[in-house]
Structure 1
């Protein structure tokens, strides 16, 4: 067991997730780098260990109930509380397909990772989150998760028409509010964040922001104090419209 503040980031072996893991570790936390691929996770974690950061590998496949439960048990054996959970794992499948051509199996797979994954992981780690003093849960949302922005012709997000991905992120905002309401009694703050247009594998690295820039809001919301908000949606310029 350790008394050091603990964090878990899912989908953390690359991109924004890896940048969030590094940022939280640099803040002084002990961070579990969540990944479904052990070999990729080991390669990613070694670079952080070489920098002297306190990070540990955690195998977790957010779509697999058994994997998630095993991950929760593994963390429980090492620590009695989880102070930060960042649900970062996410996918986009067939981004060129118009809504009328999206395959149902792709839509279901997208929801399994982007929506049901965060629900499944949060539920599994609630005992550890409630055991912490003032835990924080961050949901990795998207600008396309805002109905206001995707319907606004002046917004860059209105030009994006990814049926499954967009719908999963809109739903994730509702999930964020639901968990925020329930967990407020435990002093736990739950917020969704929008990283901006980041260079990641999800968009073939066409973004304009670096992963570190995209991770900034998630790190900020993971470390907010007791006077910070809960049940909100935030980006680099502050609160975002639903």
Structure 2
């Protein structure tokens, strides 16, 4: 049975991704910053008939928490087939370039960028033991420099200085990581789940968590001929799936 660790998986897109991977026969380590909420999420999945799931207390912005999670999972398995870096924060408002504070940037990058680096480095030794290891960094088409520079893009006026900057930085890390692992079985991609109605955006999104979970799960399960080092947004480009950087 393949095993996957998903950060920020106690609700919304992360939770639905966990459900869909369970449906595909994966064992899921459900990462949750709040242990109680994580336990509630696991109990919900178990009421749906899924048993191959357990909660891992995990705060990606805390190095000691990541280290403790690595030790805990290492006691349970010697191999991790997929890591989904889903945990992220919005960064608060306002996010205008002349009003956003340095503290906002620091806090957001701590989770959205440094958290991804921490997780990847901490769990790499388990991932490299898998036959077809996969890393999915959950991104957003809203961090595309190309799209945000295009006045014809439908979300051109939806500017924010903090959150998109953090995800753009994470995308660059994804490119570098995929390059370093280019001669290995790893597949590393940044995947946008779409503009989904969740607490994250006060339910202003137009997509569903089911659609989002399917998009992320897909790239955690891709075969050896699948892409790597790509920025994927099937909402933006249904034909090829690729999103401009």
The alignment's TM-score, normalised by the length of structure 2, stands at: 0.95
- 2:109 alignment counterpart: 111
CA contact (8 A) 2:60 2:119 kept: yes
State the SS of the aligned residue for 1:16.
helix
The size of the alignment, in residue pairs, is 239
State the SS of the aligned residue for 1:17.
helix
Work out whether 1:13 is the aligned partner of 2:16. no
- 1:31 alignment counterpart: 28
Choose the corresponding residue for 1:224, options 208, 222, 225.
222
C-alpha displacement of 1:93:
2.2
Deviation sequence 1:91-129 (CA, Å, 0-9, x none): 112233421110111110000111111111000000000
C-alpha displacement of 1:46:
0.7
1:59-208 map, 5 Å:
59-208=57-206
In 1, the alpha carbon distance for the partners of 2:60 and 2:226 equals 28
In 2, the alpha carbon distance for the partners of 1:157 and 1:115 equals 23
C-alpha displacement of 1:61:
0.4
C-alpha displacement of 1:88:
0.3
Could you list the structure 1 runs, at least 4 aligned residues long, displaced by more than 3 angstroms after superposition: none
In 1, the alpha carbon distance for the partners of 2:23 and 2:116 equals 24
In 1, the alpha carbon distance for the partners of 2:155 and 2:88 equals 18
State the SS of the aligned residue for 2:5.
strand
Deviation sequence 1:47-88 (CA, Å, 0-9, x none): 101122211101110011111011111111111110010000
CA-atom RMSD in angstroms? 1.1
The alignment's TM-score, normalised by the length of structure 1, stands at: 0.96
- 1:239 alignment counterpart: 242
Deviation sequence 1:131-151 (CA, Å, 0-9, x none): 111100000000122111111
In 1, the alpha carbon distance for the partners of 2:178 and 2:46 equals 33
- 1:49 alignment counterpart: 46
CA contact (8 A) 1:20 1:218 kept: yes
Deviation sequence 1:25-49 (CA, Å, 0-9, x none): 1100000110110111111111101
State the SS of the aligned residue for 1:18.
helix
State the SS of the aligned residue for 2:197.
coil
C-alpha displacement of 1:165:
0.4
Structure number with the higher helix fraction is 1
- 1:215 alignment counterpart: 213
- Could you tell me which runs of 5 or more consecutive residues in structure 1 were left unpaired when the two chains were aligned: none
